[in-house]
Amino acid sequence: MHFRSMQPICLQWRDHLIDTYIETEELKAELNRMWKELDDEGLSKFMASYNMVKLQHRALQNVMFVHRKKILPKKPRTCFILFCKENRPIVKTRMINAQSSDHTKELGRMWKSMSEEGKKKYKDMYEQDLARYKVRD
């Protein structure tokens, strides 16, 4: 039997056994012994408890996933990412046979050589994206 299915019963027995001072290995051995001696009725009781906890956990994960992915806006893109999004098609047409990593290296070289006046456009775009992100009620 998988360990996770033992967790509900182990938690109940652990609380009972922990009142008496017992070493960790002894505790594991005692829990294992008690699990093996469990009858069908006791096993079905704790499996039902385990299945309920498992369903609640999955439901919570789904709610958290929906909350993270659907409700919250994406983080603002950096100036460099905005620059790459705009200029990657141009670099791809110039470097047709190159790999994606070579395109990124070229974009990085272009970004470094760009003047502050040229970067201002992307900084303004970043500020707009940041404002959109901050207005998330």
Same domain, 67 and 37: yes
pLDDT tens column, 16-36: 655 555 567 776 777 777 777
Same domain, 62 and 15: yes
As a whole number of angstroms, the distance between CA 75 and CA 69 comes to 11
15 pLDDT more than 90: no
**What integer pLDDT is reported at residue 1 of this predicted model?**
47
Task: Say how many domains are in the chain.
Answer: 2
Same domain, 56 and 37: yes
Question: End-to-end alpha-carbon separation of the chain, Å?
Answer: 46
pLDDT tens column, 41-94: 777 777 777 777 777 777 776 666 555 555 566 788 999 999 999 999 999 999
State the CATH number of the domain containing residue 109.
Answer: 1.10.30
Domain that holds residue 61: 3-71
Say what the pTM is. 0.48
Same domain, 51 and 94: no
Same domain, 98 and 51: no
Same domain, 22 and 65: yes
Query: In angstroms, what CA-CA distances link 91 with 1, 8, 77, 84, 123?
Result: 57, 58, 20, 9, 21
